[in-house]
Structure 1
Amino acid sequence: MRTKFVGVRYAWSAVCFMLFLANALPLHAQWKGISPADAKMLAFLNYVTHYYVDTVNEGQLVEKGIQAVLQQLDPHSAYISAKEAQDVNEELTGTFSGIGIEFSIQRDTLLVVNAIPNAPAERNGMRAGDRIIRIDTLDVAGIGLTNSRVTKLLRGPKGTKVWVHALRQMDTLHFRLTRDDIPIHSVDAQYMAAPGIGYVRLNRYALNTEKEFIDALSALRKKGMKRGLIIDLRGNGGGIMQQATGMAGIFLPAGARTLVVRGRAVPPQEFTAQRLGTKEEKLPLVVLVDEYTASASEIFSGAIQDWDRGIVVGRRTFGKGLVQNQVPLPDGSLMRITVAHYYTPSGRLIQTPYELGDTQGYRKGFAERYTKGEVFSADSIHRTDTTSYRTLRTGRRVYGGGGILPDVFVPLDTTEWSEYVSKLDRVGELNQWSLRYVDANRGRLVKQYPNQERFVSGFTLQKADIDTIVAQGVSQKVPVPEAGLTTRDTAMLQWRVKAYMVRTLFSFSDMVHYLNARSGEMREALDLLEHWDKRAVPILEGKKDGKSPTVKK
């Protein structure tokens, strides 16, 4: 009897299985003409969505499936959801529609950090330090604000209107703003760093980067830039490849190779400097880089180095030598798929080595630059690829396989670091205090310090100011060090607070100028440009050892 029961049970299972196959077999007709692997994936997804015992969310399954596949490829192929795609595209196109403010959320208070010049908010009188309390009819104080929620409230189609209500000291101000196109600038700072020496900082490579850069060069030329230029690519993670090659072409002779791209299914492509447009072939040039300089920024710095056109100063760059195509999917999401490698003009592949599917190991390798001391000493730089190449004008030795090695190494400086002040900064207390102080004293400060130079040299935090900041820090769970504030703590606190005040009173560019005064890379760049023939020319002509970067201690 037991045997008969088991037989019936297995027979029933077989019937169920056969019914399933009977229903599924006609679907195979849809898969004729495609590869077996594609057919297998389609069949799998179809069976799960139609026959799985419980209801499944097909969209979520597909998203997770795409992510799982991409995780088995290189570390830079990625999936971008439809929700995130708009923000990503805005960064690359360099524009969005909104009111034109930079904001910060401090303890559930929405603060205007900067009103972008000639944008709707600035044209209507909003300024840094204003505290937004209502957007249209929504009270925004004390509701658990997030950056994404504020962005959604303030942005919208061009030409639409929004009411923004803000507090300035004790006054409530009401702004009726018409949304407009707001540029996302690639060039976020430019100034004369010394007599005859210009400085330009780029934060990304977007569709308008080359034009912005040319405009910055023109402005600096009018201010007397004749002795040299510093291009700051520290922290610049890249962007659009063609913008980097176009920018490199400004400094190279027409026809000079700036980049070569090769891929399995992508035809080889060579980029060269063009004859037309702005040219700066003779101006002494220094490029600042660090471990976060990546991708398109490495294309630019690699071309400048390979043609012996300028001096690269800083630390080894990230090492991203892969080219991604951004592929739109039907629901508005995006895939960034690696389709090629890029090579600098001398033939270097500067991609950091990786194993397929081992993103964690790739990230660990980058973290080890800190733990193994590379950012502090050029002697600790570890190259997995020892293949050497020669620069194209003077034949200096350069290397690939893991970023661009600088011509002049500048270690990461931690001598003035204060963990206590960094904690205050991370909870927003330094920025918050500076906004409150400027808000309450703007008239006096502007009259007493009409420009950034006068403010930097003349303003000092008083002991009462520091005590107030420290007390506010305690309320935000940042305790005072047991031994009290050290001289280093006080000095760094002064420095950081003054930086925020410079941004609020003057501009972001002025803040960068102020911060760069303590930068080892900037000091080295200025020294190279001021002693170009003595210091820089021997490096470019290969008269100094090209096997390792010059070390500046």
Structure 2
Amino acid sequence: MNTSADETRQSRQVDVPARKVWGRLRQPLLLACAVGCGMLLASNPFRPSSQNPDATARGYLKFKEILSYVDRDYVDTVNAEELSDYAIQRLLERLDPHSVYIPAREQQQAAAFLQSDYDGVGIEFNLFRDTVTVVSPLSGGPAEQAGVQPGDRIVAIDGQLVSGSHFTQDQIFSKLRGPRGSTARLLVLRRGQTRPVTFSMTRNRIPNASVDVAYLLDGQTGYIKISRFAAGTFDEFKEALGRLRREGMEQMVLDLRGNPGGYLDRATKITDEFVGGTRKIVYTDGKGDQYDSQTFSRVAGEFEEGPLVVLVDEGSASASEVVAGALQDHDRALLVGRRTFGKGLVQQPITLNDGSELRLTIARYHTPSGRCIQKSYSKGVDSYDKDLQERFRRGEAYHADSIHFAENLRYRTDKGRVVYGGGGIMPDVFVPRDSTSQNRYLARLQGLNLVREFALQLYQQHRDELKEITPEQFQRVFQVSDAQLQALAARAAQDGLKPDAASLRRCAPMLRTQLKAHVARSAYGKEAFYSVWREQDAELQQALKSLSDGSTKLALGEAVK
């Protein structure tokens, strides 16, 4: 069991988005998430001491002297604070890819990623060609209660035009959000109506769920997808797990694909629900022993027995890798998918006098068997940032035999299975990416946002019919026709995308599923979206195959001799 000191340290560990790699992971949309950075929050243990105080003092005086000369004598007027911020950022890049400096003005945005809820109107929207289109009003939120519908186009917010005004997505978010109890007025243009409609609503607390969906895939197989480890993730997970157990779940698929991390203690508590006894979940190793820690399973979990598959991919990072690595090392779960990102550095947040923050790497994460999660960054930050591109170039996303591990990074699980360290977690069952996703025509359709926009049009055209059928009936009867695909292609041609009949044929199955899934999302919600999407989800299909043919029990139950 953990000592009380270890428990205190564990409660201060968190994993939050890093500035440098935000937007480089998930393709085309899922790879837009950030890679997490582990943290030890609460009191700042750093002291103004140094191992080399004379060198530190000389460096400080040199920087101060140069900045003073530039500010006083440089030929043009300069912003000394911006120069200082730039210099700090470049300095940290010489250390590692995840030690970062966050200016005070960006602090709120950086923290918002891990909020469990926020004050606002509750709208999921799509920003396309400077037009804000409602994808879905959140269930029970002020916008839904006021009558806002999917497909509505927001013309103005609180009297300020947002249509055709070149606002960013963050700026739209800031306008929709606001203090609880404040009034928001939306001017909305609805299909079939010639004049805009004004909706007035009172902002309220909006849940910001991190458990995207939890439902039974069949009578006994539960599916839970976690998008990040935020403040409320464990509570959401426990509620979902309990509900699925009551509904008859006997085996489970935990989806961590594209999950960039979050609060470490939420991740380890979720791991504890699957691991029995007192077993190590993760440990950290830093300079000396000041930041060394070990986290063990402690409670009687709700699903310590029963077949379990965990889905991972190149977008699974940090806290996600901690969960996957622990479950693999203890032979508790079969991992399916592709090698994870490889982010295992722990950062200490240090609040500076002006409200900015330094997040300094002080340790590395290791799995119970001793594997270091962090991949190498010895070739510099630029090379590190291009690692995923290099994986695709080498064919790693499509061929397991293109991945090579050094023999000195060979480890064993509890039951003797061979696993490897040195960067990321390699799954037990490799599933290549669907090559259709590399279809340039499909990528251009998605890049122009035409798939979601066309799906919204389909939903609006069939809204009355969809109200008369259940999600199960929709799954059986709704089909995207050849004529509708041709209409989408014609729309794309108007936007400058050259017609390509051969490419359209090749990506047609994927495109039909995407369109149908987005229609289902607008009509019935997230669960309906994932129910449709599973038809083209190769990793999930492999997970179900592994569960049904008994290979999960076989792989985890026999030691490797």
Query: Do the two structures share a fold, i.e. TM-score over 0.5?
Result: yes
- Equivalent pair of 1:260/1:271 in contact (CA under 8 Å): yes
- Equivalent pair of 2:292/2:363 in contact (CA under 8 Å): no
- Equivalent pair of 1:385/1:402 in contact (CA under 8 Å): no
- Equivalent pair of 1:191/1:220 in contact (CA under 8 Å): yes
Cross-structure match for 1:15: none
Deviation of the 1:184 alpha carbon: 2.1
Distance 1:40 1:94 in 2: 44
Whether 1:117 and 2:117 are equivalent positions in the alignment is no
Cross-structure match for 1:425: 446
Deviation of the 1:42 alpha carbon: 3.4
CA gap 1:390/1:99 in 2 versus in 1, 3 angstroms: same
Cross-structure match for 2:82: 60
Deviation of the 1:415 alpha carbon: 5.0
Q: Which amino acid aligns with 1:479?
A: K
Cross-structure match for 2:545: 527
Residue number among 466, 470, 479 corresponding to 1:445 in the alignment: 466
- Equivalent pair of 1:66/1:79 in contact (CA under 8 Å): yes
Percent of aligned pairs with the same residue? 37
Whether 1:80 and 2:102 are equivalent positions in the alignment is yes
Cross-structure match for 1:249: 272
Listed as ranges, the gaps of 5+ residues in structure 1 are 1-30, 546-553
Q: Which amino acid aligns with 2:554?
A: P
Distance 2:474 2:94 in 1: 54
Distance 2:336 2:79 in 1: 52
State the secondary structure of the residue aligned to 1:159: coil
Cross-structure match for 2:319: 296
Cross-structure match for 1:264: 287
State the secondary structure of the residue aligned to 1:386: helix
Residue number among 356, 365, 368 corresponding to 1:333 in the alignment: 356
Distance 2:523 2:140 in 1: 17
State the secondary structure of the residue aligned to 1:403: coil
Deviation of the 1:294 alpha carbon: 0.9
Deviation of the 1:144 alpha carbon: 2.3
State the secondary structure of the residue aligned to 2:435: coil
Deviation of the 1:158 alpha carbon: 2.0
Residue number among 131, 137, 150 corresponding to 2:159 in the alignment: 137
Q: Which amino acid aligns with 2:405?
A: R
Residue number among 516, 537, 552 corresponding to 1:536 in the alignment: 552
State the secondary structure of the residue aligned to 1:162: strand
Distance 1:467 1:521 in 2: 29
Q: Equivalences for 1:181-192 in 2 at 5 Å?
A: 181-192=205-216
CA gap 1:52/1:34 in 2 versus in 1, 3 angstroms: same
Cross-structure match for 1:198: 222
Cross-structure match for 2:27: none
- Equivalent pair of 2:437/2:443 in contact (CA under 8 Å): no
- Residue deviations 1:421-451 (CA, integer Å, cap 9, x gap): 332222122211221232233112221x321
Deviation of the 1:160 alpha carbon: 1.5
Distance 1:279 1:467 in 2: 50
- Equivalent pair of 1:289/1:317 in contact (CA under 8 Å): yes
Deviation of the 1:165 alpha carbon: 1.8
Distance 1:69 1:224 in 2: 55
Q: Equivalences for 1:307-318 in 2 at 5 Å?
A: 307-318=330-341
Distance 2:54 2:377 in 1: 37
Q: Equivalences for 1:10-409 in 2 at 5 Å?
A: 35-50=57-72, 52=74, 54-171=76-193, 172-226=196-250, 228-264=251-287, 266-275=290-299, 278-355=301-378, 358-384=380-406, 386-392=408-414, 394-409=415-430
Between 1:188-197 and 1:43-52, the stretch displaced more is 43-52
Cross-structure match for 1:499: 517
CA gap 1:183/1:88 in 2 versus in 1, 3 angstroms: farther
CA gap 1:486/1:341 in 2 versus in 1, 3 angstroms: closer
Deviation of the 1:264 alpha carbon: 1.4
Q: Equivalences for 1:462-541 in 2 at 5 Å?
A: 462-481=481-500, 483=501, 486-532=504-550, 535-541=551-557
State the secondary structure of the residue aligned to 1:342: strand
Distance 1:58 1:258 in 2: 46
Whether 1:455 and 2:474 are equivalent positions in the alignment is yes
- Residue deviations 1:62-102 (CA, integer Å, cap 9, x gap): 11111111111111222333333212211113222211111
Distance 1:155 1:247 in 2: 30
CA gap 1:211/1:85 in 2 versus in 1, 3 angstroms: same
Deviation of the 1:297 alpha carbon: 0.3
- Residue deviations 1:287-330 (CA, integer Å, cap 9, x gap): 00111111100000000011111111111111111112233333
- Equivalent pair of 1:418/1:492 in contact (CA under 8 Å): no
Q: Which amino acid aligns with 1:112?
A: V
CA gap 1:336/1:32 in 2 versus in 1, 3 angstroms: closer
Between 1:174-183 and 1:469-478, the stretch displaced more is 174-183
- Equivalent pair of 1:417/1:488 in contact (CA under 8 Å): no
Distance 1:423 1:83 in 2: 35
State the secondary structure of the residue aligned to 1:271: strand
Q: Which amino acid aligns with 2:287?
A: R
- Residue deviations 1:369-420 (CA, integer Å, cap 9, x gap): 111111211111022563222213x122221101111111111221576432
State the secondary structure of the residue aligned to 2:187: strand
Distance 1:513 1:544 in 2: 37
State the secondary structure of the residue aligned to 1:97: strand
Distance 2:146 2:349 in 1: 38
Distance 2:57 2:272 in 1: 43
Deviation of the 1:494 alpha carbon: 1.9
Cα RMSD over matched residues?
2.3
Q: Which amino acid aligns with 1:308?
A: D
Number of residue pairs matched by the alignment: 506
Deviation of the 1:60 alpha carbon: 0.5
- Equivalent pair of 1:169/1:440 in contact (CA under 8 Å): no
Deviation of the 1:275 alpha carbon: 2.1
State the secondary structure of the residue aligned to 2:346: strand
Listed as ranges, the gaps of 5+ residues in structure 2 are 1-52
Between 1:76-85 and 1:187-196, the stretch displaced more is 76-85
Distance 2:291 2:484 in 1: 63
- Residue deviations 1:467-496 (CA, integer Å, cap 9, x gap): 322221111111111x56653243333222
Cross-structure match for 1:549: none
TM-score when normalising by structure 2:
0.85
